[in-house]
Structure 1
Amino acid sequence: MAKTLLFLPDISGFTEFVQTTEAQHSQHVIAELLEVMIESNTIGLELAEVEGDALFFFKEEMPSLEQLLAQIENTFTAFYSHLKLLEKNRVCPCMACTTAPQLQLKIIVHCGDVEFITVQNKRKPFGAEAIEAHRLMKNDVDSDNYILISDALANEIMLPAHYKSKLYDFQEGQNEYDNKIVKYLYSILDKDHLKLKPFATAQKISLDKSADITYEVELYCNAQEGIEWVSNYARRYEWAEGVDQFIYNEHEVTRLGTEHTCVINGKHLNFVTVTKNDASAASGLIYGEMTDGPPFVDKVYQFYTFQPINAQRSKLIVEVYLETKSIFKKVFKNFFIKDVFRKGIVKNIDNLSEKTKEIALEE
């Protein structure tokens, strides 16, 4: 029987992260991280199962030492590159989004003569070696950011006991499981040595004029809850009138650069999340978006600023900038378009204020 490779990336800090942060956003963050690790697969690993905070891969063919170490580096790079993206382009102030960069990753790799079980037409590793691979996730390595390779696999791919490179510095370790000593090699990774993938820089808008429309209301919720009402597109159905559908990635946390589409009377308006160059913590919590879809206007920028009043109330300031280039569009904007936008903004933001008031009275 040919030996099978077992490859288990496991997100460190998952339990505490989920239990102490907002559930929906923590789930989205974890889902995104699992997806980018799945996409980092370059050696033909097969996904057996998603195990909450971990992935269980296998490959019925042994890679070379160089291939395996390259795959491990790819997975770590994808993971920490995405965390850096979440950190730099964050919009939401909730605990899940602010603490996500503190998550870490460990990868357990093992091999052996593996049996398989088929469940709902999907083959999964089964038996003693699969159990041992999972038990190796509980070990004495004093870190939450490392790679662990079982002795069985190290011997198979001829990994020296003290292999060292710019990224790896393997040490020997062992633990006892069910009265059996299992030896392994491990290397704590310094993520500063990873070449993180570049990502699109969030668009920051410089505005050298006053807003065409400004409107303020009081919300019967705190500023953090207020920004969730706006940046969580699923909640917009509860207060935004005139929109047939919001199209967005339901498994993604809204951040700078993310996109969504509003369908109004069959017309699709594509929005991207942006921020202002002058945005600062002193201004309050800010969410912004831009579209170039409306007729008679080249671009529309909408910024929602949430300023705390007290623990239960906040002030929402909405600013709308209508960008036009031609003389005809500028005239049309001043005599007609601004009024249309104002009516829609006032109606929807008043709806949002009333919605938060209804919820506050029920509590």
Structure 2
Amino acid sequence: MNQCDDLLPAFFCVPDITGFTRLIATADIEFSKEIIPGLLRRLVDSNILKMNVGEIEGDAIFFYRTGRLPAAARVIKQCHLFFSTFETYIATYKKSHPEHYEKHLADGQLGLKVIIHYGCACPANIKGRTKLIGKDVIIAHRLLKNSLDENEYILFTEDYVRRVRRNYGGVIFAEDWRSGSETYEYIGEVKYNYLTPDEFGRAED
């Protein structure tokens, strides 16, 4: 576990659109510039954890929250809300843009993954904007590129799960979740647990 020293404890949450590159490369530009910004806006609006928006990076929103770790049940609720918001928004295009929907959105061509991490960060002011700096900021970003084959999932780093178990007892987190790890240069191994949205719903029940 990282030692924070003078850094601030920070909760990171990064919803990321999968299939984004394919959509931008193959879809009509008018359609692309309508659907992606609209989806990102709705994900930002569904932020019930009162997280800060650090960056919007094309297909991902880098949320963070310093200070007290949000309760595990609230984090789970937030993840469900992200997925329901995503699914509802995509479904509207089935009626409004049926041809675009069948070509670019049907059968899960666009998906959503959510990275959850806990660590430390140092806020820096750069021309009036707050920029987070630190190893855990890098980890949250790097985990968007991983070896998982699934198009949609929720990934919880070991650091986050360990902190939740310490703070809340961790009853919500099942021991039979799938596990994995990635190794990044200069960072080393990052362990995590993950579930698909369907599995996540069953685990919550």
Instruction: Give the TM-score category using the shorter length.
Output: 0.7 to 0.9
1:100 aligns with 2:141: no
User: 2:4 corresponds to which residue?
Assistant: none
Q: Which has the larger helix fraction?
A: 2
User: 1:68 corresponds to which residue?
Assistant: 75
Q: Which amino acid in the other structure matches residue 50 of structure 2?
A: G
C-alpha distance in 1 between matches for 2:127 and 2:151: 34
User: 2:197 corresponds to which residue?
Assistant: 189
1:141 aligns with 2:167: no
How far 1:2 sits from its partner (Å)? Answer: 4.1
Distance 1:161 1:140, change over 3 A: farther
User: 1:8 corresponds to which residue?
Assistant: 14
| Aligned counterpart for 2:87 among listed residues 45, 59, 80 | 80
C-alpha distance in 1 between matches for 2:54 and 2:185: 25
How far 1:91 sits from its partner (Å)? Answer: 3.7
C-alpha distance in 1 between matches for 2:123 and 2:131: 5
Q: Indicate if the aligned counterparts of 2:13 and 2:117 stay in contact, CA closer than 8 A.
A: yes
Q: Find the residue that maps to 2:159 and give its secondary structure.
A: helix
The structure with the largest alpha-carbon Rg is 1
Unaligned runs of 5+ in 1: 195-363
Q: Find the residue that maps to 1:77 and give its secondary structure.
A: helix
User: 1:123 corresponds to which residue?
Assistant: 130
User: 2:179 corresponds to which residue?
Assistant: 172
- Same amino acid, percent of matched pairs: 28
| Aligned counterpart for 2:158 among listed residues 148, 151, 154 | 151
User: 1:338 corresponds to which residue?
Assistant: none
C-alpha distance in 1 between matches for 2:9 and 2:102: 41
Q: Find the residue that maps to 1:62 and give its secondary structure.
A: coil
Q: Indicate if the aligned counterparts of 1:11 and 1:105 stay in contact, CA closer than 8 A.
A: yes
- What whole-Å deviation, never above 9, does each CA across 1:49-105 have from its counterpart, x for those lacking one? 110011011001311111111111111111111111121x22463x47741343100
Q: Which amino acid in the other structure matches residue 152 of structure 1?
A: D
Distance 1:96 1:119, change over 3 A: farther
Q: How many residues align?
A: 188
| Aligned counterpart for 1:163 among listed residues 168, 174, 187 | 174
| Aligned counterpart for 1:52 among listed residues 48, 58, 74 | 58
| Aligned counterpart for 2:117 among listed residues 110, 115, 120 | 110
TM-score using structure 2 length: 0.83
Give the root-mean-square deviation of aligned CA atoms: 2.4
C-alpha distance in 1 between matches for 2:198 and 2:128: 40
Instruction: List 4+ stretches of structure 1 deviating above 3 A.
Output: 95-98, 159-162
Q: Which amino acid in the other structure matches residue 18 of structure 2?
A: S
Q: Indicate if the aligned counterparts of 1:108 and 1:133 stay in contact, CA closer than 8 A.
A: yes
How far 1:21 sits from its partner (Å)? Answer: 1.0
- What whole-Å deviation, never above 9, does each CA across 1:269-310 have from its counterpart, x for those lacking one? xxxxxxxxxxxxxxxxxxxxxxxxxxxxxxxxxxxxxxxxxx
Higher RCO, 1 vs 2 (CA within 8 Å, ≥6 residues apart): 2
| Aligned counterpart for 2:33 among listed residues 27, 46, 59 | 27
Q: Which amino acid in the other structure matches residue 105 of structure 2?
A: A
